Amino acid sequence: MGFEKFGKISYTSETKVKDFVNYLEKGKIMATQCRMCKKIYFPPRMDCSNCLSVDRMNWREINNEWTLITYTTAHFAPTGFEDDTPYMLAIAESAEGLKLFARLSKDVSEDQVKLGMKLKLTPVKLPNGKIVYEFKPLGE
Amino acid sequence: MSEVAVVGVGQTAFTRACGVSIKELCFEAFREALEDAENLQPQDMDGSIICSAPEYDKQRSPAGAIAEYLGLNPKPTFYAEAICASSTTGVRIAYGLIKSGLHDLVAVIGFQKMSELSSTEVQERMGRGADIMWESPFGLSMPAGYALFARAHMQKYGTTEEQLAKIKVKSGKYSVLNHKAIFQREVSLEEILNSRVIAAPLKFYDCCSNADGASCIILASAEKARKITDTPVWIRGLGSASDSLSMANKANLTGLNCAVEAARQAYKMAGIEPKDVDVAEVHDCFTIAELMAYENLGFCKPGEGGKLIEECQTYIDGDIPVNIDGGLLGKGHPIGATGGSQVRTIVLELRGDAGKLQVKGAEIGLVHNIGGVGLYGNVIIFSR
């Protein structure tokens, strides 16, 4: 238990990386890094597919500077997200070469969005007590 | 070792609501394939592979229910799943079973009755199609996944919404000639471009529709095939690959890496090049998916898919006719039945039995069937 707080609708409760949510609630966005082979994982994971070590990860804060690679504006949504439409979904790449899928903040209007723009990832507490992260323009 | 041939093909019409049970739906496709295979009987089969996407099924373990209804007991039957690529995965497994000598004659039956569920239930399942831990919690759907590819492709290569729309124009032109297709109307470029936005830049007519339907492909060893029919269609090459489920972990956002890899394997095995293909069926669940398929299969260079459709090179009389049966955009997409339907079309084309949709003199055909948002990729090459 613990991970069900992540996302407006959550489908996963049990995971070895549930501490991610505790960090997120404190405003920290954490990756894991393998102590053995040094590979960095974001989203975090405790099992290293690179050197096959298990539970030998350190938590570390991400370098929070991202570049927008692609995005879409969803006008139709799966169950539970209907009230949010339209919303923007994006993939961005970090300065460390990590890639992440998340929403683009509703504070940004679609005509302000440009591929290549710089973003930061920000924790967002939702009215239903859940927590999530979203991309916002860097510098805001 | 024995070669493997397709000796019979069958398919129901693809419809919005078939009004029959999944067993009855499969029976119709199976019966047509048996008849096509010079009146084989159910008991001639050494085994069957039943393919669908289980999240749309009410029946648990549908292979058992369907094999019983089709008269396939006591021969072995089992279920194969790779979402939208399920039935070409079934063909791949059947190929292996025949090639190993374990079986001589195998029926691959793909089906989906999407009307079995309410639209709310379908919406709920759609929400779990992405990585449920890190991506589904943001509200990611299939159209949005392909829209992320479309935007990246437009940015990198200057592909336009109009070029994508031209793929749907082509689809409509051919689906009206295919009486088994769901979509029996041609659509104009303007209508497509003005249709409502689903996941920008993809609009309503850039997306295929859910459907009910079944398909059946009967595969045989060479010895068996020659006894059954004078017009076997041979499997010359197979390729299969996978990519990450997560959108974030896809190394390429302007093409499907699983398709590129599957195509490389299939061309190598068949000993041919892309230019040797006379007719192709590609997985156009969205217009952008067909455009990327042109490039991923080597029918044009990366970034030139838009130009290929603008020049009408993928029309019936073009350099490389693609989806001459209407494709998924025109036929509808009953998930588990789609791959088998693509194989059926290529088999009919290579036998010269495709009627109004016949590509003249087609000798080598290719099927490209993708599961999920570029998750599973199957490419199969056939020849007379």
In Å, what is the CA distance from A16 to each residue of A39, A100, B153, B243, B252?
17, 20, 36, 24, 29
Which of A3, A89, A94, A113 is the best residue to mutate to test the B interface, defined by the most B CB atoms within 10 Å of its own CB?
A: A89
pLDDT grade, residue A96 (50/70/90)?
Answer: confident
Q: What is the domain partition of chain B in residue ranges?
A: 4-119+211-233, 142-209+235-383
Cβ A74–B199 below 8 Å, yes or no?
A: yes
Q: What is the distance between the alpha carbons of residues A72 and B158, in angstroms, rounded to a whole number?
A: 17
* The predicted structure's pLDDT at residue B118: 84
Cβ B137–A71 below 8 Å, yes or no?
A: no
DSSP A8: S
Residues of B involved in catalysis: 84, 333
Beta bridge partners of B109: B50, B216
**Considering Cα of B66, then B111, then B210, then B125, what sign does the dihedral take?**
positive
Architecture field, domain B142-209+235-383: 3-Layer(aba) Sandwich (3.40)
H or E element that contains B199: strand B197-200
The candidate with the shortest Cα–Cα distance to B126, out of A86, A77, A73, is: A77
Letter string b/e over residues B225-236, b meaning 16 or more CB atoms within 10 A of that residue's CB: beebbebbbbbb
Q: Is the pLDDT of residue A1 over 80?
A: no
In chain A, which residue's Cα lies nearest the Cα of B132? A11
- In chain B, which residues have pLDDT < 70? 1
Cβ B138–A11 below 8 Å, yes or no?
A: no
Name every chain B residue with its beta carbon within 8 A of the beta carbon of A102: 138
Note whether B4-119+211-233 and B142-209+235-383 share their fold.
yes
Q: What is the pLDDT of residues B116-158, one digit of tens each?
A: 888 788 888 888 999 999 999 999 999 999 999 999 999 999 9
Cβ B246–A101 below 8 Å, yes or no?
A: yes
> For chain A, what percentages of helix, strand and coil (3-state, to nearest 5) are there?
10, 40, 50
In chain A, which residue's Cα lies nearest the Cα of B199? A74
ipTM: 0.96
Q: What is the domain partition of chain A in residue ranges?
A: 3-61, 66-137
CATH superfamily of B4-119+211-233: Thiolase/Chalcone synthase (3.40.47.10)
Cβ A72–B144 below 8 Å, yes or no?
A: yes
Q: Is the pLDDT of residue A140 over 70?
A: no
* The predicted structure's pLDDT at residue B52: 97
Name every chain A residue with its beta carbon within 8 A of the beta carbon of B140: 78, 89, 101
Cβ B127–A84 below 8 Å, yes or no?
A: no
Q: How far is A87 from chain B (nearest CA, A)?
A: 9
Name every chain A residue with its beta carbon within 8 A of the beta carbon of B150: 72
pTM of the model: 0.97
Name every chain A residue with its beta carbon within 8 A of the beta carbon of B120: 79
Give the long-range contacts of residues B194-198, CB within 8 A, separation 24 or more: B196/A75, B197/A73, B197/A75, B198/A75, B198/A76, B198/B143, B198/B147
Nearest to B138 among A89, A99, A110 (CB): A89
